[in-house]
Amino acid sequence: MRNSNVLISGAGIAGPALAYWLVRHGCTVTVVEKAPALRPGGQAVDFKGETHQTVLRRMGLMDEVRRLQTGGTDQEIVDADGRRLAVVPGEFTGGDVEITRGDLARLLYEHTAPHSEYVFGDSITSLTETAGGVHVTFERSAPRTFDLVVGADGIHSNVRRLTFGPESAFVRHLGHHYALVEVEGDFGTVPSMYNEPGRMVAVGGPKAPAFFVFASGQLDYDRYDMGQQKDILARAYAGMGWQTPAVMRAVARSGDVYLDSISQVRIDRYSQGRVVLLGDSAYGNTLGGFGTGLAVVGAYVLAGELAAAGGDHRTAFAEYERQIRPYAKVAKNGNAGPFLAPGTPARLRMRNWMFKYRFLLDLMMKMGDKFATDITLKQY
């Protein structure tokens, strides 16, 4: 196959999933990741419907994912005194199979590391396309030339910035931020969510970090500075009731904080020359529960189309986009912020009311399954 020497930026979910398939199709793969190591823990991610599960089965990972699944535990919505207002069923948030992001990332890494080169603690600084490849410079490593470069480096994609232009041209803030924080403390064994208008905090349950969603304009902060992120959360949750003061004290002690905006990527094309985008770098991060499935299915299609085209990247990238762009419309149109952190008492009551009527939940889950299966997978 032509163009078989591939550089992937990003060792989260999309990048290693693509590495898995590219190696299967005979490629030489290098994965570069800015972080010094895989990020453990993190929120639960889920797979919905037959399409997602088909890709996992074709990867030979279905049994291992099920072994590591978190179980989709029910979550209580409570008032300031801890009284239950409604119950969010586990199948609503957990899809058909739920697993922590850290466990899934580790699983993908273990299956690809023996056959791929992983470079942690480094980042791409320039991409220059030549007649026969892409000349790449790095922050730490020596320059190298690859046949193709894939940006699987998230909504703040470095590859997208270097290839297409500044983030501000493609990423639209949707009015909310979210945070995941590994906290220590006794916050109960039952996962619980508490809301006040425009902000939500959720804690409890096995292996689950504290989860925050709050309404906010665009924030200017260093995404690698935990101190700044803790300060933002402290201001956002000042004066909030329920167990929030104790949770925020645990946040102050935490060594693992992740804060980001709920945002949407709008880009006219997923590729330019020998560079292509995959996952959140192309489809956005609206926190609607579809990002992981989109990443895994997108990786399957991208690698498969490269193999089907014999490495002809122009043909493969065009066909990849033709299949994935309609499938990714759920991310384009979604925004979980107003659902998780409704802005008024009336909207909070309406959100909670929805969970009291099973037919409404069933309708929403059927819609989710429809989006998750809205693609016909080829057998590559």
| Contact of 304 with 21, CB cutoff 8 Å | yes
Question: Nearest-CA neighbor of 327 among 367, 362, 376?
Answer: 376
- What are the 10-residue block averages of pLDDT along the chain, 380 residues in total? 94 97 97 93 82 94 91 87 90 78 95 98 97 96 98 96 97 94 87 97 79 95 93 98 96 94 93 97 79 93 98 98 90 81 96 80 66 83
Tell me what pLDDT residue 161 has.
98
DSSP 313-347: HHHHHHHHHHHHHHHTHHHHH---HHHHS-SSHHH
Tell me what pLDDT residue 96 has.
80
Q: Which amino acid is at 93?
A: T
The residues pairing with 76 across neighbouring beta strands, listed in sequence order, are: 87, 192
